[in-house]
Structure 1
């Protein structure tokens, strides 16, 4: 799948960031390297907010290191404003600042979804923005499709200004074209059939590119060995209706074979992605992401 380019440049549709205190929430529009407009939201950590509401974190109103920022990548048909994504963002804010955004074809972002391919460019734009805001340490966490994107992004952007300093993939597939569950067969129907794409657009609020992948992007399990030595966490529920447990185990094995074992959390009773992530899990995730 591919998405049409609109020109290469990067912008932030807010007033001068240097005049905006970092205690404020910022809603912006970014441009990806292939020219797609991406909506993004920055929210400072609440860990250093006093009872009076004054933000006392490092770099609150300066250009110094503002600590860790978590960039949150949602699942297919999600967006920055979906309740489950907002709940996760608020949980992570107790540990670090949070950048949430809508992938192309989702929410208020432009373009069309390529279901995990060119979405790496969307994540890269969000990570760069977090660094522009003064965060020296930027980590990524992705759910489902977003989980596959953070894995590929960590491999492809390692060593660049869009790099991730730690990566957590939740409910992510290990390989492409999986149709082994009824839930995934429904997803493939939505993505590959004209009527399905209409359902995606008008029923699920997701605009899907009709073009097939060309070339087929690096599979998540193929990306994992390239991530090392960046810290990697794989999280998966044992009741996931989309991807069974052989997917997270395949990812963990790929990391182990690369000589940099991933942490693997198999969550008892958990279903799929951000909608199934409980408060306790989100708090543990936030703690893992924020630790240096």
Structure 2
């Protein structure tokens, strides 16, 4: 991973770097350019950085992502970024497969600011990426996470049991759907099918321990019903929060839930 931007980004003293937001272009291990933003903790020098992985069709500048970053920054430094094919990042979306490399680049960048802990939280597609990243990067110190939370994440691939997911599959798998994704949703999607099929979230979660894991899901999620979070929790040592009245992902996460998420991520090592 490398960063391209004006000014220094990699130092060993958080107090020297935490003077304001920083924007950078990161390069993933497969060469994709990823836009990212670092925001220091607003309550002083914090030893934890939270890396936020948005959902499908999101981006670093979406209001829901900025709202989450604002709440998180009251407890920790925050790194937000746009997945490949989203926002100002390069490449095309692989809908949860190679996005693991995007998250790894963002985590490595966050560690370059000198924080003693770097943790991840992902929403929907970003939740599945956060789970797979935690399982796949345990042995790579600079890119690993110290705790992970997945919000509204699927447990298994190819789920079509709800109308929103059937629409999403149409967007991803049909040429005209990908045009809708590109021009209507500002998301560029690769036309190739997965080959091989990546490790699924439910196959990933048993590999995450001993890294602390939190699964969060709304009981009114229109995309993934409650068997998804329950399957993830049953396959792991995760803590499970089922949120009454909550819908799907970052758009449905209110300030109260975001604050509790940040508290869990920041304080998990003391439990």
Q: TM-score scaled to structure 1, two decimals? A: 0.88
Matches within 5 A, 1:1-292: 10-17=2-9, 21-48=17-44, 57=45, 67-160=47-140, 161-255=142-236, 261-291=237-267, 292=269
Count of residue pairs the alignment pairs up:
263
Please give the alpha-carbon distance, in whole angstroms, between the structure 2 residues aligned to 1:252 and 1:23. Answer: 39
- What is the root-mean-square deviation of aligned Cα atoms in Å? 1.2
Please give the alpha-carbon distance, in whole angstroms, between the structure 1 residues aligned to 2:102 and 2:53. Answer: 9
- Per the alignment, in what secondary structure is the counterpart of residue 79 of structure 1? coil
- Per the alignment, in what secondary structure is the counterpart of residue 164 of structure 2? helix
Offset at residue 21 of structure 1 (A)? 3.5
**Bigger shift: residues 75-84 or 12-21:** 12-21
Structure 2 unaligned runs (5+)?
Answer: none
Please give the alpha-carbon distance, in whole angstroms, between the structure 1 residues aligned to 2:25 and 2:255. Answer: 29
Is this contact kept in 1: 2:59–2:87, CA < 8 A?
Answer: yes
Residue by residue over 1:19-63, the C-alpha shift from the partner in whole angstroms, topping out at 9 and shown as x without a partner, is 974221100000000000000000001122xxxxxxxx2xxxxxx
Offset at residue 159 of structure 1 (A)? 2.1
Offset at residue 17 of structure 1 (A)? 2.8
Please give the alpha-carbon distance, in whole angstroms, between the structure 2 residues aligned to 1:164 and 1:71. Answer: 9
Please give the alpha-carbon distance, in whole angstroms, between the structure 2 residues aligned to 1:249 and 1:287. Answer: 22
- Per the alignment, in what secondary structure is the counterpart of residue 27 of structure 1? strand
Residue by residue over 1:187-235, the C-alpha shift from the partner in whole angstroms, topping out at 9 and shown as x without a partner, is 0000000000000000000000000000000000000000001000000
Please give the alpha-carbon distance, in whole angstroms, between the structure 1 residues aligned to 2:62 and 2:153. Answer: 19
Please give the alpha-carbon distance, in whole angstroms, between the structure 2 residues aligned to 1:234 and 1:47. Answer: 27
Please give the alpha-carbon distance, in whole angstroms, between the structure 1 residues aligned to 2:77 and 2:232. Answer: 28
Q: TM-score scaled to structure 2, two decimals? A: 0.95
Please give the alpha-carbon distance, in whole angstroms, between the structure 2 residues aligned to 1:18 and 1:187. Answer: 38
Structure 1 unaligned runs (5+)?
Answer: 1-8, 49-56, 58-65, 256-260
Please give the alpha-carbon distance, in whole angstroms, between the structure 1 residues aligned to 2:6 and 2:172. Answer: 34
Structure with higher Rg: it is 1
Offset at residue 164 of structure 1 (A)? 0.5
Please give the alpha-carbon distance, in whole angstroms, between the structure 1 residues aligned to 2:94 and 2:253. Answer: 25
Offset at residue 18 of structure 1 (A)? 6.0
